[in-house]
């Protein structure tokens, strides 16, 4: 059973235009909904306060009428007559006068149409002063607002003391107001608001899509520019055009990447050409030696000389392949570093003893100074120093000196290999550690694979260090290795 699962579709596969359009639409919808909710809430509060004020005002007028009537025995004043006529014509408001035992003592002429709301139920403690009751009349839904107002009314025990009238405690004037018109107004408002919100959502989606598509036009343009770049056009750059500020950063970073790709492509091309050239020479030498030897019968000495050439060229090929394999493993993080505590003085002594015979034959003096301990891979450190010493001996004339020195800074160990040889021109120094790079034909040698300095740099980098070179024509060169006192963590195999 395969461990790979089929890719799932998600919002990440949506186009940027679609996602931004959705975001814009959602944002506008949220704003419209928020504003609409506030406006609707404000309208509800205003209508509720208006209805409550109207009901309370009508009840207070009715209470005043009842209290005046309670202390007067003469006929009604004109305004009282008008108030009664107004009540009979005004069908939205009705009332009942409830005794403390909740029996109806008096009621408005239209109280019957408000029977469900004026039912003499005892109000529970903690209930709101205003209550809303819904019912149906003539097949239509009706909403009513009820309010109880405590009053003093005449009764059997009533006496005239300190005011217009005093009566039994607990008498209540219950009023009701038909607020169906306010409910219908709110329903109509909600219907219109829903239409406005729906239209706003559609318009915001359309406008958001158009604006997003227009705003992302530079992204499509830069994508088109990138799409026209291929391996033959790595020299092209896109940051030269007038892009928006956000895309300019992208364009500049893309140009930086193109520059790195161009450089890497050139190095790869040069490396492939150098490999072909470097391998061709020893292979041609092998074929030529064998062909010449086989052309006619040879003496044992000639056969021996041919075999020596074969061995020499084969060894050169072997060293070249070994160096290339090392560099490939280092590039792919497959070369493991086995750190140990290395005594620099002991390593220097071993290297001097190994190269001493070759130095004596060339008339070159070897010197070594420095001590201390370094956390490094002994084999890799020895290989790097051997490559540098071999190069120094190869290009130092008779009577010259090669020095192997060690020193310390606050955070690094510094190992240098200097010579008093021919030196290297400044224009070659930046490329000296490139693979198969040749400063000039005079610095080529059949003993050299052209990979020694590249191997040195890889070893230094594997230890978290660096390698540098300083050189003066006619005075010599100095290669400096810097290894950190605290080595980098060793990758687990």
End-to-end CA distance of the chain: 28
Residues 339 and 491: their CA atoms lie apart, in Å, by: 11
- Report pLDDT for 71: 60
- Cβ proximity of 378 and 347 under 8 Å: yes
Residues 212 and 206: their CA atoms lie apart, in Å, by: 10
Domain ranges for the chain: 17-120+128-188, 245-329, 336-484
The conformation of residue 411, written as its DSSP 8-state character, comes to S
- Please give the sequence-ordered ranges of beta strands (E in DSSP) within 305-372, or none if there are none: 340-343, 365-369
Residues 295 and 290: their CA atoms lie apart, in Å, by: 9
* C-alpha 300 chain-centroid distance: 75
Residues 482 and 463: their CA atoms lie apart, in Å, by: 9
Cα diameter, the chain: 165
pLDDT in tens, 13-33: 677 777 778 888 888 888 888
Residues 311 and 283: their CA atoms lie apart, in Å, by: 12
The conformation of residue 7, written as its DSSP 8-state character, comes to P
Cβ density class 303-338: b for 16+ within 10 Å, e for less: eeebeebbebbeebbeebeebbebbeebeeeebebe
Residue recorded with tokens 């040889």: 421
Residues 212 and 189: their CA atoms lie apart, in Å, by: 33
Task: Give the pair of three-digit tokens for residue 402.
Answer: 């090669």
pLDDT, mean of residues 335-341:
79
What is the architecture of the domain spanning 245-329? Orthogonal Bundle (1.10)
Report the SS3 class of residue 188. Answer: helix
Instruction: Report the candidate in 169, 171, 125 with the shortest Cα–Cα distance to residue 148.
Output: 171
pLDDT in tens, 198-249: 888 888 888 888 888 887 787 777 778 777 777 777 777 777 767 777 778 8
- Report pLDDT for 81: 61
* C-alpha 311 chain-centroid distance: 59
The CATH number of the structural domain formed by 336-484 is 3.30.565.10
Residues 134 and 143: their CA atoms lie apart, in Å, by: 4
**Which residues have a Cβ under 8 Å from the Cβ of 398 and sit 6 or more positions away?**
362, 363, 364
58, with CB counted inside 10 A (0-12, 13-18, 19+), is buried
Q: How many helices (H) and strands (E) would you count in the chain? A: 9, 12
Question: When comparing pLDDT for 438 and 355, which is higher?
Answer: 355
Cβ density class 89-122: b for 16+ within 10 Å, e for less: eeebbbbbbbbeeeeeeebbebbebbeebbeeee
pLDDT in tens, 347-364: 899 899 888 988 999 999
- Is 70 exceeded by the pLDDT of residue 160? no
Phi, psi of 112 (to 5 degrees): -65, -35
pTM equals 0.47
21, with CB counted inside 10 A (0-12, 13-18, 19+), is buried
- Give me the chain's average pLDDT, please: 78
pLDDT in tens, 77-116: 555 566 565 565 567 888 888 888 778 887 887 888 888 7
Task: Give the pair of three-digit tokens for residue 30.
Answer: 């949220």
What is the architecture of the domain spanning 17-120+128-188? 2-Layer Sandwich (3.30)
pLDDT in tens, 281-300: 677 777 877 787 777 777 88
Residues 107 and 227: their CA atoms lie apart, in Å, by: 88
- What torsion do the CA atoms of 291, 294, 295, 296 make, to the nearest 10 degrees? 160
């Amino acid at each position: 059973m395969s461990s790979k699962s089929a890719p799932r579709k998600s919002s990440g596969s949506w186009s940027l235009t679609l996602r931004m359009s959705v975001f814009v639409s959602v944002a506008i919808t949220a704003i419209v909904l928020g504003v609409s909710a506030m406006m609707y809430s404000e309208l509800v509060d205003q209508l509720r306060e208006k209805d409550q004020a109207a009901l309370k005002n009508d009840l207070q007028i009715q209470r005043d009428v009842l209290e005046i009537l309670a202390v007067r025995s003469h006929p009604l004043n004109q305004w009282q007559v008008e108030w009664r006529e107004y009540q009979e014509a005004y069908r939205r408001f009705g009332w009942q006068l409830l005794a403390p035992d909740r029996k109806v003592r008096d009621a408005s002429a239209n109280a019957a149409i408000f029977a469900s709301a004026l039912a003499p139920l005892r109000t529970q403690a903690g209930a709101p002063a205003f209550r809303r009751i819904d019912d149906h009349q003539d097949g239509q839904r009706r909403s009513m607002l009820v309010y109880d107002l405590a009053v003093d009314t005449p009764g059997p025990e009533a006496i005239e003391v300190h005011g217009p009238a005093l009566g039994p405690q607990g008498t209540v004037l219950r009023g009701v107001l038909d607020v169906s018109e306010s409910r219908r107004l709110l329903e109509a408002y909600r219907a219109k608001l829903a239409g406005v919100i729906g239209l706003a959502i559609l318009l915001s989606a359309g406008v958001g899509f158009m604006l997003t598509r227009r705003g992302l036009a530079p992204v499509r343009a830069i994508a088109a520019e990138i799409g026209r770049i291929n391996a033959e056009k790595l020299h092209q750059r896109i940051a030269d055009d007038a892009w928006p500020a956000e895309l300019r950063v992208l364009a500049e970073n893309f140009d930086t990447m193109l520059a790195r790709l161009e450089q890497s492509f050139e190095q790869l091309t040069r490396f492939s050409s150098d490999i072909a050239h470097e391998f061709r020479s020893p292979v041609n030498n092998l074929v030529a030696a064998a062909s010449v030897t086989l052309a006619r019968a040879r003496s044992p000495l000639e056969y021996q000389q041919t075999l020596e050439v074969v061995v020499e060229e084969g060894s050169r090929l072997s060293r070249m392949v070994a160096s290339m394999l090392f560099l490939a493993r280092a590039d792919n993080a497959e070369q493991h570093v086995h750190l140990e505590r290395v005594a620099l003085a002991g390593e220097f002594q071993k290297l001097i003893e190994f190269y001493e015979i070759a130095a004596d034959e060339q008339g070159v003096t070897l010197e070594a100074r420095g001590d201390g301990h370094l956390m490094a891979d002994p084999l890799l450190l020895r290989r790097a120093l051997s490559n540098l010493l071999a190069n120094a001996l190869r290009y130092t004339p008779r009577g010259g000196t090669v020095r192997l020195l060690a020193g310390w800074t606050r955070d690094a160990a510094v190992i240098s290999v200097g010579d008093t040889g021919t030196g290297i021109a400044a224009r070659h120094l930046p490329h000296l550690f490139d693979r198969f790079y040749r400063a000039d034909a005079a610095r080529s040698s059949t003993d050299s694979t052209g990979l020694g300095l590249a191997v040195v740099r890889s070893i230094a980098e594997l230890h978290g260090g660096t390698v540098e070179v300083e050189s003066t024509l006619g005075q010599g060169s100095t290669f400096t290795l810097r290894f950190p006192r605290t080595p980098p963590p060793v990758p687990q195999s």
